[in-house]
């Protein structure tokens, strides 16, 4: 065999080997992530198919599927023919616009290139390599498809993987929701831009309802939600309607009598509403509401016929420390009383900046006592905060909002806003209830002992002390039953309860003053042989507080108020509704009492110290007895209430605990003081002949004579 023949033989073997390598290389690098040898492809073009195409097969085409090659091809020409048979397995919702011979604009959905590649046929009139008939034959399928994809830049293939295709320059934005991708395709270049398209659809109709020019407050919002059923007659045959009522926006949907489903609504930042499918992504909306199937079924069972969701902006701040997120609240109504749901209603708020603030989901039942303000509560709602999104999981229908309040401590550890944590509030409440209960019992025992056993032997000091016991007894009793009365939500009962609590508190302060006044008379040996002395003291002790309470009753300043912690957890009580008036009356009143009682207490301490230094060993009283007697006098004059003046900054929490412990257990402490000071000992009678000794003894005990 000649060398020339051998050379041709080896050249043939080399060509076969190169073709084999090319076959393996092409299959390896073009294998799709889902296990196919080549990823499924959607062929599109802005042109009408050439005659040669329509001759060889109809367009849009059926799916071209070769089992051996594990590849699906779909020819959707011209583009966006979503009714094509092959579009059942492809995302054909694609548009192509030709600007000139070199520039094309393509718009694809977010998931298009995740499901399949897209091949843009630049010129269908002479791109015969991509005829469907050329690809039906399984023999040489990959090589035929490879020729189709790269016939001299007569088409461009778009892919997420970037293998076997031109490189793409990505300028992708962050979209929370569905994405719409726009490809600006030039010859030898492709730039991808991403824009956001929110899922869902708009309501079938829009209802524009005129409202008065006055701002919509909480009370007016409640009235709108109560009358929402009247808008059904305006919808006609439409099943859903978007509602526009001034700056209030929302949606209402009719409920079917059978086959109820869950409902999902998304609110955009400009107030528009989309009706979503159950599996739609809601992250692109500023607010979204999910109503479970259980809520719809319960509504229909209770004669409800619709589901309405309204967003109310520009709601006034609750107070200087608390406000609603973006001053807005969400009202949800279904024409029936919906509560105790096992599947919660989910209200989601996005783009939440809670730096330095505590955000809590709260609800309001639509009822108010003063005509304007809403009583927000955390009952029935759980708060979940993740990555700037807050979700309220609630088991009932009503008004919902995010309550924003300052954190209990600042960066420097101070707490100037007066807000305490939920755990501290719970602990303080438990201490108060326990202390008041114990005090109430022992004050009752002391009064029983006095009126049934020792009334005839009582001195003037003890009679004054018994009046203080009565005031404290009423104060503890009113405090313990106050919350129960507030929960009844009966305005008249709450006003009476608030007036009784306030009166007993002012009376207690007044009798602190009377105790100090009587002690001052004894210290300076001022005679109390005034005609009707005790009667005059009693009139002053009980009438002065009554005048103040009557004035507040006449000005309608008693009612239901809400006390909240940093988590928005709140309790209702019957008290003075005006916080400024509360501070002015109560702090001012006690401030006068505190100055006088503290002065008398200090004078007493000086007197006792002075007498102790001059007394001989026979007349000296033990230091231990003197200490506990002064401690009892401290409580007797109500100086422990002065810790309220230190409830600011870093001292706020310690002062709260000291104030709560001393004053809630004050009745018990005074009972112990009364019991030991009322015992008559023979040595005390003998020592009473010594005037200085008697003065010291008078300041410490209240002997019965």
The yes-or-no verdict on residue 245 having pLDDT over 60 is yes
Averaged over 506-515, what is the pLDDT? 95
% pLDDT > 70, the chain: 68
> At 696, is the pLDDT very low, low, confident or very high (cuts 50, 70, 90)?
very low
Task: Name which residue leads in pLDDT, 161 or 144.
Answer: 144
Backbone phi, then psi, for 21, in 5-degree steps? -60, -40
> At 568, is the pLDDT very low, low, confident or very high (cuts 50, 70, 90)?
low
> At 698, is the pLDDT very low, low, confident or very high (cuts 50, 70, 90)?
very low
**Among 122-131, 267-276, 425-434, 550-559, which range has the highest average pLDDT?**
550-559
Q: Which CATH class is domain 422-680?
A: mainly alpha
Averaged over 599-617, what is the pLDDT? 78
Q: Are 199 and 177 in contact (CB under 8 A)?
A: yes
The whole-number pLDDT of residue 316 equals 76
> At 605, is the pLDDT very low, low, confident or very high (cuts 50, 70, 90)?
confident
> Do 205-406 and 422-680 agree at the fold level?
no
> At 29, is the pLDDT very low, low, confident or very high (cuts 50, 70, 90)?
very low
Token representation of residue 653? 């929490």
Write a three-state SS string for 610-674. Answer: HHHHHCCCCCCCCHHHHHHHHHHHHHHCCHHHHHHHHCCHHHHHHHHHHHHHHHHCHHHHHHHHH
Token representation of residue 651? 């001292």
Task: Name which residue leads in pLDDT, 89 or 245.
Answer: 245
Phi-psi region of 525 (alpha: psi -120 to 50; beta: other; left: phi over 0): left
The whole-number pLDDT of residue 700 equals 43
State the Cα–Cα distance between residues 433 and 424, nearest whole angstrom: 14
End-to-end CA distance of the chain: 151
Q: Are 484 and 572 in contact (CB under 8 A)?
A: no
Burial class (CB in 10 A: 0-12, 13-18, 19+), 649: middle
> At 235, is the pLDDT very low, low, confident or very high (cuts 50, 70, 90)?
very high
The yes-or-no verdict on residue 436 having pLDDT over 90 is yes
The whole-number pLDDT of residue 37 equals 54
What count of other Cβ atoms lies within 10 Å of the Cβ of residue 201? 11
User: Whole-prediction pTM value?
Assistant: 0.51
Q: Which of 84-98, 331-345, 524-538 has the lowest mean pLDDT?
A: 84-98
3-class secondary-structure state, position 682: helix
The whole-number pLDDT of residue 334 equals 94
315: DSSP letter? P
The strand pair at 41-44 and 117-121 is best described as parallel
The whole-number pLDDT of residue 98 equals 78
The whole-number pLDDT of residue 265 equals 94
Q: What is the pLDDT of residues 346-397, one digit of tens each?
A: 999 988 877 778 888 989 888 765 544 677 888 889 888 887 889 999 999 8
The whole-number pLDDT of residue 171 equals 33
State the Cα–Cα distance between residues 510 and 548, nearest whole angstrom: 12
Token representation of residue 36? 């196919």
Q: What is the pLDDT of residues 62-99, one digit of tens each?
A: 556 555 556 778 877 777 665 566 777 777 777 787 77
Q: Which of 31-40, 151-160, 474-483, 687-696 has the lowest mean pLDDT?
A: 687-696
Averaged over 649-664, what is the pLDDT? 83
Task: Name which residue leads in pLDDT, 9 or 113.
Answer: 113
- Indicate the average pLDDT of the chain: 76
**Domain 205-406 CATH (choose: 2.60.120.580, 3.40.228.10, 2.130.10.10, 2.60.220.50):** 2.60.220.50
**Among 31-40, 88-97, 401-410, which range has the highest average pLDDT?**
88-97
The strand pair at 41-44 and 71-76 is best described as parallel
Q: Are 69 and 138 in contact (CB under 8 A)?
A: yes
Residues 6+ apart with CB under 8 A from 587: 644
Q: Are 513 and 466 in contact (CB under 8 A)?
A: no
Residues 6+ apart with CB under 8 A from 121: 43, 44, 45, 47, 77, 127, 130, 154, 155
State the Cα–Cα distance between residues 637 and 603, nearest whole angstrom: 13
Q: Is the torsion defined by CA of 635, 639, 645, 651 positive or negative?
A: negative
The whole-number pLDDT of residue 174 equals 40
The whole-number pLDDT of residue 515 equals 93
The whole-number pLDDT of residue 692 equals 41
The whole-number pLDDT of residue 324 equals 85
State the Cα–Cα distance between residues 553 and 419, nearest whole angstrom: 29
User: Where in the chain are the domains?
Assistant: 41-192, 205-406, 422-680
The whole-number pLDDT of residue 408 equals 55
In which residue are the tokens 């955390």 written? 378
State the Cα–Cα distance between residues 452 and 447, nearest whole angstrom: 8
The yes-or-no verdict on residue 574 having pLDDT over 90 is yes
Averaged over 516-538, what is the pLDDT? 84
Averaged over 445-459, what is the pLDDT? 77
Q: Which residues of 251-265 are buried (b: 16+ CB within 10 A; e: fewer)?
A: bbbebeeeebeebbb
The yes-or-no verdict on residue 620 having pLDDT over 90 is no
State the Cα–Cα distance between residues 106 and 186, nearest whole angstrom: 11
Q: Which of 104-113, 128-137, 638-647 has the lowest mean pLDDT?
A: 128-137
> At 341, is the pLDDT very low, low, confident or very high (cuts 50, 70, 90)?
very high
Phi-psi region of 341 (alpha: psi -120 to 50; beta: other; left: phi over 0): beta
Q: Are 45 and 78 in contact (CB under 8 A)?
A: yes
Which of 498, 603, 518, 613 lies closest to 558 in space, CA to CA? 498
377: DSSP letter? B
> At 691, is the pLDDT very low, low, confident or very high (cuts 50, 70, 90)?
very low
The yes-or-no verdict on residue 196 having pLDDT over 90 is no
């Amino acid at each position: 065999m000649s060398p020339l023949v051998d050379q041709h033989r080896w050249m043939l073997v080399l060509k076969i080997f190169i073709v084999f390598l090319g076959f393996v290389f092409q299959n390896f690098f073009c294998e799709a992530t889902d296990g196919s040898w080549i990823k499924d492809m959607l062929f599109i073009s802005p042109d009408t198919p050439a005659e040669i195409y329509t001759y060889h097969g109809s367009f849009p085409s059926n799916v071209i599927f070769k089992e051996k090659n594990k590849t699906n091809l779909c020819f959707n020409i011209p583009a966006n023919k979503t009714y094509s048979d092959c579009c059942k397995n492809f995302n054909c919702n694609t548009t192509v616009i030709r600007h000139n011979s070199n520039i094309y604009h393509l718009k694809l959905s977010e998931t298009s290139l995740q499901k399949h590649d897209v091949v843009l046929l630049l010129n269908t009139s002479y791109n015969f390599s991509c005829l469907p008939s050329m690809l039906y034959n399984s023999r040489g399928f990959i090589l035929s498809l490879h020729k189709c994809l790269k016939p001299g830049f007569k088409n461009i293939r778009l892919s997420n993987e970037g293998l076997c295709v031109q490189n793409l320059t990505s300028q992708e934005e962050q979209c929370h929701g569905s994405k719409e991708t726009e490809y600006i395709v030039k010859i030898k270049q492709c730039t991808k831009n991403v824009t956001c398209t929110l899922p869902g659809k708009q309501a079938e109709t829009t209802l524009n309802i005129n409202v008065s020019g006055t701002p919509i407050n909480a009370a007016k919002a409640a009235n709108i939600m109560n009358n929402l059923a009247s808008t059904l007659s305006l919808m006609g045959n439409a099943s859903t309607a978007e509602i526009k009522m001034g700056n209030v926006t929302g949606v209402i949907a009719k409920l079917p009598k059978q086959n109820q489903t869950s409902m999902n609504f998304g609110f955009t930042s400009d107030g528009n509403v989309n009706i979503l499918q159950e599996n739609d992504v809601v992250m692109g909306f500023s607010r979204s509401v999910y109503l479970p199937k259980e809520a719809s079924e319960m509504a229909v069972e209770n004669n409800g016929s619709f589901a309405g969701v309204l967003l109310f902006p520009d709601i006034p701040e609750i107070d200087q420390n608390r406000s609603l997120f973006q001053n807005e609240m969400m009202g949800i109504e279904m024409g029936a009383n919906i509560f105790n749901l096992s599947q919660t209603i989910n209200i989601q708020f996005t783009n939440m900046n809670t730096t330095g603030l505590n955000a809590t989901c709260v609800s309001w039942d639509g009822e108010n006592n003063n005509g304007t303000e809403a009583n927000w509560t955390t009952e029935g709602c759980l708060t979940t905060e993740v990555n700037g999104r807050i979700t309220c999981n609630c088991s009932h229908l009503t008004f919902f909002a995010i309550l924003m309040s300052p954190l209990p401590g600042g960066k420097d550890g101070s707490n100037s806003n007066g807000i305490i944590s939920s755990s501290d509030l719970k602990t303080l409440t438990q201490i108060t209830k326990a202390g008041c209960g114990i005090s109430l019992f022992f004050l009752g025992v002391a009064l029983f002992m006095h009126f049934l056993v020792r009334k005839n032997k009582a001195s003037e000091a003890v009679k004054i002390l018994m009046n203080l016991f009565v005031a404290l007894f009423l104060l503890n009793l009113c405090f313990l039953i106050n919350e129960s009365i507030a929960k009844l939500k009966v305005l008249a009962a709450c006003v009476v309860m608030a007036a009784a609590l306030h009166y007993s508190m002012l009376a207690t302060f007044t009798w602190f003053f009377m105790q100090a006044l009587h002690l001052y008379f004894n210290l300076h040996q001022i005679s109390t042989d005034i005609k009707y002395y005790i009667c005059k003291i009693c009139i002053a002790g009980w009438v002065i507080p009554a005048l103040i309470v009557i004035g507040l009753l006449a000005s309608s300043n008693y009612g239901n108020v809400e006390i909240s912690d940093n988590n928005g957890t709140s309790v209702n009580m019957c008290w003075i509704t005006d916080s400024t008036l509360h501070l002015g009356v109560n702090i001012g009143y006690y401030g006068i009492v505190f100055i006088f009682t503290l002065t008398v207490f200090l004078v007493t301490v000086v007197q006792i110290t002075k007498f102790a230094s001059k007394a001989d060993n026979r007349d000296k009283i033990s230091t231990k007895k003197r200490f506990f007697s002064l401690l009892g006098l401290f409580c007797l004059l109500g100086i422990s209430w002065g810790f309220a003046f230190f409830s600011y900054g870093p001292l706020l929490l310690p002062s709260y605990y000291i104030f709560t412990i001393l004053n809630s257990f004050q009745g018990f402490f005074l009972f112990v003081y009364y019991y030991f000071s009322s015992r008559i000992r023979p040595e005390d009678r003998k020592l009473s002949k010594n005037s200085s000794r008697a003065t010291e003894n008078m300041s410490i005990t209240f002997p019965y004579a």
